[in-house]
Amino acid sequence: MPDITHAREPRLLALDQLLSRRSVGLLQEPAPAGADLDLILDAGLRAPDHGRLKPWRFVVIRGEARLAYAEKLAEAAMVRDPANAATLAERYRAWVRRTPMLIAVGAVVKPGNIPEIEQLLAAGSAAMNMLNALHMLGYGGMWVTGPNVYDSNVNRLLGFEAPSRLVGHLAVGTPAPSTAPVPARPDRAAHVSEWTP
């Protein structure tokens, strides 16, 4: 019988990397650029896509554009919640300033035979593919939702008119040193069952 250990090893190493992925909120420079960023975006473009609609859209926000985007998020917060405007505006400014890069992920929803939820799931799958690619290339990321993602003004700013919409922001950079414990993997038995007739 042939020894298949060597043939399987690269696959197992790749799975080990996937199994060690976690969300990283404490990020620092550098953010991916050039060929690394292209690979990350290409991974997003390989997401499942019922009907070949290619609904995913990615808006990269980096460099000085981040500061302008932070102001737009602050303005949106002031319109949404005037009573808490000052606190929220500063929170969003600070978040964007400390994040080396943002990738806004959305779905261009096309009416027709493919249900809207499937188009949104395709965009969500693209986001997950990009998070996996970030991790495998040595970067870190976190998928962030919240009021800004559901705000029609923020959506319009990024080119998403209803029914198209954002599914989240990916906060992207290099993981900063941290003493926080690595979260335990979920217990498989608590999340998996086998259907039997």
Query: What CATH number did the domain enclosing 52 receive?
Result: 3.40.109.10
Into how many domains does the chain fold? 1
CA 196 and chain centroid, separation = 35
Residue 161 has pLDDT above 80, yes or no: yes
Report yes or no on 4 lying in a domain: no
Contact (CB, 8 A) for 17 and 138: no
Contact (CB, 8 A) for 66 and 29: no
- Condensed to tens digits (0 to 9), the pLDDT of residues 5-50 reads 555 678 888 898 999 999 999 999 999 999 999 999 999 999 999 9
Res 164: pLDDT: 97
The whole-number average pLDDT for the span 133-143 is: 97
Give the angle subtended at the CA of 166 by the CAs of 29 and 120, to the nearest 5°: 120
Report yes or no on 1 lying in a domain: no
Report yes or no on 150 lying in a domain: yes
Report yes or no on 167 lying in a domain: yes
Identify whether 181 is preceded by a cis peptide bond (ω within 30 of 0): no
Identify whether 183 is preceded by a cis peptide bond (ω within 30 of 0): no
Structural domain boundaries, residue 137: 25-60+102-175
The whole-number average pLDDT for the span 116-123 is: 98
